[in-house]
Every structure is written in structure tokens, then in C-alpha cells.
Chains A and B, each alone.
Chain A
Amino acid sequence: MHDIWVVTELVGKDLAPVSLQLLGQARQLADQTGDKVIAVAMGHEIMPMAQELIEHGADEVLVADHPELTYYRTLPYARILGELIQEKKPNVVLMGATSQGRDLAPRVAARIQTGLTADCLELSINKDGLLVQTKPSYGDNVMVDIVIPEHRPQMATVRPNVFPQPERICGRKGKVTSVPVSLQPDDLKTVVKEIIAEEQQASRLEEADVVVCGGRGMGSKENFEQLYALADALGGVVGATRPPADEGWIDPAFQIGQSGKMVAPKLFIACGVSGAVQFTVGMEKSKIVVAINKDASAPIFNFATYGIVGDTREIIPALLQEITTAKESKTGSRKECN
């Protein structure tokens, strides 16, 4: 068996984007080697998701549906996934590097005693047919390629948003298999008391792939609304320099820098920020930095990958418009099938 499994997850009632992104990548890898892509879906009342997974590239969906699986908890999920892996022996098991994947994947890897690579940015197959897992380390300063030569399955968690979302093929055919759920009393020791939904959270700032940061140059609390719109469009989080935090334009928990949070996202957009050293220490590890400032001599441009000299009040709306257009024209955007 050379099946590639994608362990999918839900955010609220929807499939997590990273699950669909992983299905797309798994499909590409499987097509190279002629193998099958199998999605694993665990939860409650999730049968309707199965067809959506097939339409995003799964050949088969293993559905574990049970009231005890309504909210993610380590042990019941690990029980089901562990037993399924032991029974069906997939070659590769992939999960999103989300709060769920990061909790579940190592628990299961230790149970099966196999290797697991965290936070991959790239996946490929080498000439020996092994999965090459590329992950960053030392705060993204170094990249490493990792293989798991002998143990099976080869397991990896993958960061959200590194792979594009695959095109949905309406009416694509696949098999849906309902798997029995039998849990042990010990699996139910953990109780989920509450899920508190938060839109913008300061704790997410440090892990966000995209940070949109406003400085004093944004001018007012009202203008900060544009930053939230931009962050929403890019799936990011809004941060700020110290002056906006002092002025009360934003909760101080979102301040970036020496006396605030340290961030290192894939994309950092600095809007109306001068680039003082106390600020730049908190963001200089970001991969791609875009700086928008009306002063061409602002130090922030020395930290930028791309610089735009201009007024944020003109540039940000234009950028929002352009992103919306790009999204609409993209095949990967979420499509409904009936």
C-alpha cells in the first residue's frame, strides 16, 4: 500500500483551508507515483463533508462520526487515527500544523513509533520514493530536508498557506467509508468545557503567516479599519508600533517590538511605520516585508523586500481592490457544487 493520507480538520463547521491545501498537494504527489489519496475526517455530523473532500482530490474518505468527536480532544482522535493507521498501513500521513495537528500528530507518531516532521514548507518524492520533508529551523534561518527511510507511515505536519488550494471538481467520484468508532473510558478523561471564539487575538499575532502593521502614519483609529480589511483579505492579523498602542487606536497587546511582541511571518506589511530600531527588532525575521511610507528616506525601507513610497490612504484601498480581483480570478477560490 502506498496511500497518502490527509487528516482533515474543521474550523467551526467548515473544512479548514489547510486540509484542502494538503489534499491538493497529496493529489500531486500521488499522481507522480500512481498512488491513492485518502482523507480522514473525524467529527460529528460530518458526512456531508465527504463529497467536498472528494471534489478536492480525495479518492476515498474515511469518516469517523460520533458525538464524542464533536470537539477536538487528543485521546479520542488519537485512538481512532492510531487504530486506522495500524489497520490500513498508509505510506504517508499529513496534517496541518495547526493547534489540532500539532497536538494530534506527535501523539499518534509516538503511539505507532514512527517519525514525524513538524511545520513543513515543502513536500516532494525523491528517487528512492521517500517523502522529502522540508522544514525551517532556527527561526526560519535554516532549512532542513528530512526523510524517514524505514518507519511507516512517514508523518508530517505542514504549515497553513504554503500550498495553494486545489480547484474543486464538482461531481468528482470517490468512495466514502464509514469507520466504526469505539472509544475507551480513559480516552474521555479530558472534557472540553468551552470554545471561546475570538476574531483577532494577540496570541495569534506571533504565529500569523501574515501581519499587517500600522504605525503613527495611519493617522487615526478610523484609518486602522483599513488595516483590518487588508488583514482579513490576506488571512492575517493586525499589529502596531508603539504610538498607535499609546494613542488607544489598538489594544497594546498587539504592539510589536522590543517592548511588545516578536513576529516572524511570511509576509509583513508595514503601513506608516518609520522603522525605529526598537520596532524593527520585533519584525526583522519576517520573510517578505512590504513597506508603505510617504517618506522615501524612512529607515523601514532598509528592512523591506518591497517598498512603496506613497500615502497609505491611497495605497491600501488600491491594494485591497487588487487582492479582491486576484482572488476572484483564482481557480482555487472556494466554489460551491450542487
Chain B
Amino acid sequence: MHIVVCIKQVPKTLDVRVDPVTHNLIRQGMESIINMFDENALEEALLLREKFGGKVSVISMGPPQVREALRKALAMGADEAYLLCDRALGGADVLATAYTLAQGIKKLQPVDLILCGRHAVDADTGQVGPELAERLGWPQVTLVKRLECDGNKITAWRECEEGTAVWELPLPAVVTVGKEINKPRYPTPIGIIRSGKKPITVWEAKDLDVDEDKIGLAGSPTRVTRLFSPERTSHVEMLTGKAEEVARLLVAKLEEHKIQL
């Protein structure tokens, strides 16, 4: 079984602010980590490999420093790592990212299963997995909290408004997972040493069969027009009075904040 895990590198702390003058993001420290849910995706892939054999490849699109995240994935136990890295890929939104990843993954065929995180904690869209599935023409299941596989088909317990929906679908498929699905392992010292010998293959745009209009900024239909920090009340406002009075005051405040009652 060949499983591909899509990994995104994200900032370690989400405590970012927008500079009111320059409108640029101010990040407290620039440390990066693997998007939490992508570690769950990798763990699930490693568990499936333990059961069925085969190989786990990790792939990421991003700047050169993403090697660090890929290195960690190799240390956790992935067999091969691929980085799609090129200035021409910069500025990609979901549509362009999913297209580029799909073109990269096509070079890794045959692939039986693609695992993604349910969403990336920085941009927070959760759209790359389904858009990738569409590009490949494969079935998908998202927001998965439990997965079973018999080698040909998967059974997935997915979150839905009623509770849980149990879906069965044939491979190949794209699955996005949440953190209930497993507890990601830590890299072992042996794993870290071994990972040093595993190569990270870097592909530039010219190495991929990509259409120039479909990658990077040119291939991205969405445009960010403004970036700002939401207003926050930093000091507590005490509501005083008898129980009925404070209840009334509070409900009025909640309505001001557009909380649906």
C-alpha cells in the first residue's frame, strides 16, 4: 500500500497581531511546526503501513524551510519526502495549492490513499483535501475521527451535525482527519538518526507537469484585500445587581455581540 500524507508547516504560536500601521502580520517568534492534524494524518498512515506493509510518502508545498517539517516526518517514520518548492508557486490559494499538490502526487503514482489534516491552523480553511480529491477524481471523506481499512476499501467515521456518519468508500481515496483519530508518536532517537539518511526530493515548477496559469498567484482566484486584528476587550466588565438584574444585563451584552439566542 502506498500512502501519501500532505503536510503543511505552520507557525508554532498563533498569537499573531496585525501592525496597525504597516498592516503586516507581527508574529511572536518565528518557530514553525507540522500542522497538528497533519501529524495525526501521518500517524494513521504509519499505523496502516504496519498493518499492510508498503510505504508512506510525505509531500508539502512551501518555502525551503519546510524541509525541517519533512525531516521530522521522516524521523517519525515516513519513508520518502517530497517538497514542491519554487518562487512561481508562491502566493497560491487553495485552488492553486490543491492543483500543484495533485500534479506532484501524480508523479508518485500508484498511490492508494492520501491523508490530510482536517484543516491547517493558520489559514484555517480545510479545503485543500477535498479540492485535491476533485483534481484527482477520487472519492473523499473529511473530518474523520476513526478509520478502518481492509486494503481495498475504507470505513470512515466522520463528524456530522447529527453526530457521526459512517461511510464506506473504495480506494484510492482522500481522507482528512481530526485529532480524535490517534495520538501521534514522537520520533525515537533511532528514527532521528535514520531520517538523516533519507533524502528529501525537491521539485521545482519545471519538474512538475503544471500549467503556468494554474499555479501560484496567477492560479489563485481569491485576493486578500485587508488584514486586521479583531477588537478585543482586555478588561473585565463586572455586572452587578440581583440575579435577575445581572441576567438581564448579560443577555443584553450577548445580543450586542450578536450571539444567537
Contact = CB atoms under 8 A, between A and B. Distances in A.
Interface stretch (A36-44, A47-55, A103-111): A103-111
Contacts of A114: 95, 221
Nearest to B238: A307
Given A74-B139, A143-B228, A118 B250 contact: no
Contact of B167 (A132, A149, A191): A191
A196 interface: yes
B182 interface: no
Contacts of A173: none
B171 to A, nearest CB: 10
Contacts of B259: 161, 210, 234, 266-267, 288
A190 B15 contact: no
B250 A142 contact: no
Interface in A1-45: 9, 11-12, 16-17, 21
Interface in A131-157: 132, 135-151
Contacts of A319: 247, 250-251
A99 B143 contact: yes
B226 A145 contact: yes
Contact of B165 (A71, A78, A102, A266): A71
Nearest to A152: B221
A74 B121 contact: no
Interface stretch (A59-67, A213-221, A244-252, A310-318): A310-318
A142 B167 contact: no
Nearest to B127: A106
A142 B18 contact: yes
B175 to A, nearest CB: 12
Contacts of B161: 9, 11, 16, 98-100
B122 interface: yes
A102 B236 contact: no
B239 interface: yes
A317 B244 CA distance: 9
B127 A310 contact: no
Nearest to B155: A193
Contact of B260 (A78, A117, A161, A191): A161
- In the complex, which of the residues B145, B227, B246, B253 has the most CB atoms of chain A within 10 Å of its own CB atom? B246
A103 B139 contact: no
B15 to A, nearest CB: 6
A178 interface: no
Contact of B230 (A102, A136, A149, A192): A136
B50 interface: no
A180 to B, nearest CB: 23
- In the complex, which of the residues B168, B254, B257 has the most CB atoms of chain A within 10 Å of its own CB atom? B254
B93 interface: yes
A279 B111 CA distance: 43
- In the complex, which of the residues B11, B145, B257 has the most CB atoms of chain A within 10 Å of its own CB atom? B257
A119 B237 contact: no
A327 B251 CA distance: 10
Contacts of B31: none
A119 B124 contact: yes
B142 A113 contact: no
B14 interface: yes
A111 B228 contact: no
> Main SS of chain A's interface residues?
mixed
Contacts of A110: 95, 98, 130-131, 134-135
Given A149-B223, A302-B236, A323-B251, A310 B124 contact: no
Contacts of A78: 134
Contact of A109 (B131, B166, B169): B131
Contact of A146 (B15, B25, B222, B228): B222
A233 B261 CA distance: 7
Given A103-B140, A116-B127, A322 B236 contact: no
B122 A195 contact: no
B49 to A, nearest CB: 24
A75 interface: yes
A142 B145 CA distance: 28
A258 B220 CA distance: 38
- In the complex, which of the residues A139, A142, A161 has the most CB atoms of chain B within 10 Å of its own CB atom? A142
A285 B225 CA distance: 25
Contacts of B11: 138
A63 to B, nearest CB: 21
A142 B140 contact: no
A326 interface: yes
A307 B239 CA distance: 6
Interface of B: 11, 14-18, 25, 93-95, 98, 121-131, 133-135, 139-143, 145, 155, 158-170, 178, 180, 220-230, 232-233, 236-240, 243-244, 246-248, 250-251, 253-255, 257-261
Given A99-B142, A146-B224, A197-B163, 11 more contacts: A72-B165, A75-B139, A78-B134, A99-B160, A115-B95, A118-B126, A138-B11, A191-B167, A196-B165, A291-B236, A306-B239
26 contacts: A17-B260, A72-B160, A73-B167, A103-B142, A106-B126, A114-B95, A118-B124, A136-B230, A138-B124, A141-B14, A142-B229, A143-B228, A144-B224, A146-B225, A162-B258, A189-B139, A196-B163, A196-B166, A201-B164, A210-B259, A234-B261, A266-B257, A306-B239, A307-B237, A309-B238, A326-B255
